[in-house]
Amino acid sequence: MIKTYLPFTALFLLLLCVPVHAERGAIGASIRAVDEFYNETQNLTKDLADSPAVKEMRAASLEQKDAAVKNLENLNRVDRPGKKRFKQAYGIAASYMDARIEAVKALPQASPEDKARIGGIAKTLLALKAEKLNAISETEKFERTDEKKIKPVPSIDRSPYENSPEGDKGIWER
């Protein structure tokens, strides 16, 4: 009997380990885009000098990434799939990427060599931002937009099969 439950238990435990944001919608794509953008920013800036400004920028990047992911996860819990949620997820991801690009551009540039290197990093990040936002835009079609309209309850007390409401005394004439 234990042998029959063991495969099902193992499958159940495996499915519990699947990340929550592994979905096809805008939220999952936005979380993946923010994570990948953060990783690429960290990889590109690790060659810069270990100045306090670079360390501060990298620490702020981690804090902003965590805040963006948290906002996206909260948005996933609160809002229903649709255009509104898509626009909010897109906006959170885009604002995170814009803030990180501006932070890289604001790094101190002591020499012309640093200036060229930081300019190259900013151009790479701009191209990556366009690519990631395009990937998020492609997920808009997966967001449900078909919302069922609730049929209003009539305020007049008569059958829907009656034709003339004029001169009708309602339920008293039936």
Q: Which CATH number do you get for residue 83?
A: 1.20.120
Residue 10 domain-assigned (yes or no): no
**Its pTM surpasses 0.75:** no
Spatial separation of the C-alpha atoms in residues 124 and 101, rounded to whole Å: 10
Specify the number of domains making up the chain.
Answer: 1
Residue 114 domain-assigned (yes or no): yes
pLDDT of residue 6: 59
Residue 4 domain-assigned (yes or no): no
pLDDT confidence tier of residue 19, bands split at 50, 70 and 90: very low
Residue 79 domain-assigned (yes or no): yes
Residue 155 domain-assigned (yes or no): no
Quick check: 130 pLDDT over 80?
A: yes
Quick check: 77 pLDDT over 50?
A: yes
Residue 53 domain-assigned (yes or no): yes
Residue 167 domain-assigned (yes or no): no
Among candidates 62, 43, 45, 41, which has minimal Cα distance to 54? 45
133 versus 167: which is more confidently predicted? 133
Spatial separation of the C-alpha atoms in residues 118 and 129, rounded to whole Å: 16
User: Could you say which DSSP state residue 160 is in?
Assistant: T
Residue 9 domain-assigned (yes or no): no
Q: Which domain, by its residues, includes 56? A: 20-143
